[in-house]
Structure 1
Amino acid sequence: MAPVLDSSTPLLGIARRSAVAAGPLAATYLARRALTVNDTQKVTLGVIAAYVVAIALLWNIPYVRWSLWPFKMLVIAFHEFGHAITCVLTGGHVKSISLDPREGGVTHMQGGKSALTLPAGYLGSSLIGGLLILCGFNIVASKVASIIVGVCFLLTLWWGRRDWLTIMTILLAIGLLVGCWFIAKAEALRYVILFIGVMSSLYSVWDICDDLILRKVNSSDASVFAKRYGGSSQCWGVIWSIISLLFMVAGIISGIAAFPQDAAQQRTDSGNFIPTKL
């Protein structure tokens, strides 16, 4: 019979003490290793910072801010898609989606769980933004993201097929994504996905603050939510803004942890995943 070791056995005592001591150290080591930022990731973080500054400046400069208009419309499409897909997933029916040239949009729905569909516009576009930022750290992940986004766009196009602005916005966005596949082995796609992700995250926060906190618009999603479930639109606006920022931060941290490949390795991997000739 094999010997039985109890707590008084010196060897077992040493092993237990070592395990207890090593546990936190191992966790700390893995956490530090996972979040170590390499040179390629530093470039990506720099690009994200540049995007944030550029978007913040262009957002408020007269005339120049119109350069962001196509991307604003794109993010509004994400917003309306969030409403629509949540409606469908909660048993409702989407009648139509339309975008407004004055940077607005509306989703006509029937049924669904309003407790989920109402915040799904703001939080859905923020979640998409965080996921796109995550994928923007890697070329292959950006390719996968562009395919998924393309499918979401086609669904939005189906729901908004009677609105010319929705059709034009979606077709131009799909054309941009497809074209970037053929530039430097899709490396350009990574930066476009990253920009759309940052834009989506920032737009959600700005839209919430601008409409609900600063302007106090009564017809917003949050005002309807507040009337049905209590609280104030400003309160829900703050909560949704915080959640939106957390999605963005989570996307950045997850990108650092998930994609440690350098630029050369990313290009090699991209060449092996649905390669393009250019």
Structure 2
Amino acid sequence: MQTSSGAKLDFGRVALLLVLLGTGWYFWDSPALWPLKLLVVMMHESGHALATLLTGGAVDRITLAANESGACLSRLPSGMMAQVAVYSAGYVGSALAGAFLLLATFRFRLRRLVLGAACLWLAVMGVLYAGDSFTLAFCLGTALVLALAAKYLPDGGVDMLNLFLAAFTALYVAFDLRSDLLHGAVGSASDATLLAHLTPVPSWAWAALWSFVSLALLGLFARWSLRAAPPENMGYGPQRLGRIR
């Protein structure tokens, strides 16, 4: 299997990704996937928090709820462009997290470091910004689970876990798109509605734009990450070139 540029894709990884996407889709309503949905919501709210801090605002607290909703309460910076950036960051925050998860695991072989970084992120967000005991418990508990996985799972198990998390993130973005556009679930407190109040662009257009961007980013990073490694003996003439990753 090749990309348009001629680079070969690792068929095994592509097939596994498709299987995990199908599994996540089929069992989407299973209670077993509830913690993963909350994890993606935390990625979403972390996107808002990071954008707030980068644009000069201040984050007061982040809350998660058992019904898979979340909120980032911030003191927003002045200026329309800065506020548009903050409101938009949630849409792409989870997509970027999934994309970098794929890239770091399969392109740069940083599988355990990825889980370690996720543990640190959850612990920091929980300690600094958790707005209630449920959010704090979820962040610290999930951080502990990921830390144990990073320490005790074999390399293949860590790869599988990271790939499933990335696949589930992609599914969550897709289901958000379906919810916002097909079922009219852009509610009064949604990011798209806040953006519509701030700009002349309607909420459905903002939801479509950022959902498309999120899915495109995931697809681009997945394509890059799932390329097959070149043969070990690749080289030209008597001098062997370094391995390209």
Specify the TM-score bucket, using the shorter chain as the normaliser.
0.7 to 0.9
* Contact 2:116 2:150 (8 Å CA) reproduced: no
Q: Map 1:135-150; keep pairs closer than 5 Å.
A: 135-137=104-106, 140-150=109-119
Name the counterpart of 1:26: none
Amino acid at match of 2:34: W
Aligned length, in residue pairs: 225
State the match for 2:167 in structure 1.
198
Q: Distance in 1 between matches of 2:165 and 2:137?
A: 17
Query: Are 1:94 and 1:108, in contact at CA under 8 Å, matched by a contact in 2?
Result: yes
Select which of 92, 102, 122 maps to 1:133: 102
> In 1, distance between residues paired with 2:88 and 2:4?
36
Map residues 50-129 of structure 1 onto 2, 5 A cutoff: 50-60=19-29, 65-112=30-77, 113-129=82-98
Q: Structure 1 residues 261 and 159, CA, compared in 2 at 3 Å: closer, same or farther? A: farther
| Contact persistence 1:211–1:220 (CA under 8 A) | no
Distance in 1 separating the partners of 2:88 and 2:159:
29
The sequence identity of aligned pairs, in percent, is 23
Question: Per-residue deviation at 1:73?
Answer: 0.5
The equivalent of 1:6 in structure 2 is none
Deviation beyond 6 Å, 4+ runs, structure 1: none
Q: How far apart are the structure 2 equivalents of 1:224 and 1:212?
A: 16
Q: How does 1:1-278 map to 2 (within 5 A)?
A: 31-32=5-6, 35-37=7-9, 41-60=10-29, 65-112=30-77, 113-137=82-106, 140-183=109-152, 185-214=154-183, 215-257=185-227, 260=229
Shift of 1:50: 1.2
Q: Would the aligned equivalents of 2:62 and 2:129 in 1 still touch at CA under 8 Å?
A: yes
Stretches of structure 2 lacking an aligned partner (at least 5 in a row)? 232-245
Letter in 2 for 1:229: T
What's the TM-score, normalizing by structure 1? 0.73
Deviations 1:145-200 (CA, angstroms, capped at 9, x unpaired): 22322232123113433422222222232222222233454331221111111212
Which has the greater radius of gyration? Answer: 1
What secondary structure, in the 3-state scheme, does the structure 2 residue paired with 1:107 have?
A: strand
Scaled by the length of structure 2, the TM-score of the pair is 0.83
Shift of the 251–203 alpha-carbon distance from structure 1 to 2, 3 Å rule, reads same
In the alignment, the residues of structure 1 paired with residue 164 and residue 137 of structure 2 have an alpha-carbon distance, to the nearest angstrom, of: 20
Q: Compared with structure 1, are the counterparts of its residues 45 and 93 closer, same or farther at alpha carbon in structure 2 (3 Å cutoff)?
A: same
Post-superposition Cα deviations, 1:214-243, rounded to whole Å, max 9, x if no partner, equal: 223222100110110121111111111111
| Deviation at residue 213 of structure 1 after TM alignment | 4.4
Contact 1:122/1:208 (<8 A) preserved:
no
> Contact 2:112–2:158 (CA<8 Å) still a contact in 1?
yes
CA distance in 2, matches of 1:71, 1:30: 33
From the two aligned structures, give the one with the greater helix fraction: 1
Q: 1:161 to 1:240 in 2, by over 3 A?
A: closer
Query: Is the Cα contact below 8 Å between 1:94 and 1:109 reproduced in 2?
Result: yes
Q: State the 1:261 CA deviation.
A: 7.3
